[in-house]
Chain A
Amino acid sequence: KNQVEQSPQSLIILEGKNCTLQCNYTVSPFSNLRWYKQDTGRGPVSLTIMTFSENTKSNGRYTATLDADTKQSSLHITASQLSDSASYICVVRGTGSARQLTFGSGTQLTVLP
């Protein structure tokens, strides 16, 4: 069964600190992995997309990594801001019979002043 597991479930950090969110998946065959940011009551917004051959990708203060061999990804947030408070969802797309998106349960990040 295709699954995406995220950790931690929730995280509280102080403004200005860095943090790293984890995503492990079993989706196979693998096509790509996206990290989405979802503000409360809003739709998810894509931060990064990683394909099989990519190890690292940055988008401003967000840096995603992918290890396709171990089926693990991480999202690192640098110098956190209050506006980073949101749910971060890891979404994996497979190919063939696994081509639909498989969503993780998300990590709820709270940044405190």
Chain B
Amino acid sequence: DTEVTQTPKHLVMGMTNKKSLKCEQHMGHRAMYWYKQKAKKPPELMFVYSYEKLSINESVPSRFSPECPNSSLLNLHLHALQPEDSALYLCASRLGGADNEQFFGPGTRLTVL
């Protein structure tokens, strides 16, 4: 299995909802990432979970919270989002080592109404 899977593919939610995005990989990678990508813009790093240590981009609001139940899963919990949070959310994983590739999942298209 050489892919990163993300569910759901699409999500529409209201500003008062609580939802979660799921990311899974079975490549034995020790680092997993969440990115936010707006249309026609490059991905922006939100969180890194590497060797059981979480790193947070300080610009990410607290309404986004990552959770790593095990080394194959990285969830992103969403609460009280704003319409400007609508974007493509990409998950990626990497084996480790500077030259190793980040493998990206297909993304979750999130729309906040």
Residue positions of A touching B, CB distance < 8 A: 31-32, 34, 36, 41-46, 49, 51, 87, 89, 93, 95, 99-101, 103-106, 108
Pairs across A and B, CB under 8 Å, 17 listed: A32-B98, A36-B104, A42-B107, A44-B43, A44-B90, A45-B104, A49-B99, A51-B99, A93-B98, A100-B45, A101-B102, A103-B43, A104-B42, A105-B40, A105-B41, A106-B42, A108-B40
Question: Given the complex, which residues of A lie within 8 Å of B88, measured CB to CB?
Answer: 41
B42–chain A nearest beta-carbon distance, Å: 4
Closest-by-CB residue of B relative to A42 is: B106
For the residues of B in contact with A, the DSSP-based class is loop
**Among B4, B42, B101, B105, which residue has its beta carbon within 8 angstroms of that of A49?**
B101
> How many residue pairs, one in A and one in B, have C-beta atoms under 8 Å apart?
46
Q: Chain B contacts of A105 at CB under 8 A?
A: 40-42
- Chain A residues in 8 Å Cβ range of B106: 42-43
Tell me how far the C-beta of B57 lies from the nearest C-beta in chain A, rounded to whole angstroms: 9
Residues of B within 8 A of A106 (CB): 40, 42
Instruction: Report A11 CB to chain B, min CB distance, Å.
Output: 14
Q: Is the CB of B41 within 8 A of A101?
A: no
Interface string of B32-49 (1 = CB under 8 A from A): 000000001111010010
The A interface, classified by DSSP as helix, strand, loop or mixed, is strand
Nearest CB in chain B to that of A90: its residue? B42
Inside 8 A of B74's CB, which chain A residues have their CB? none
Residues A31 and B102 in contact, CB atoms below 8 Å apart: no
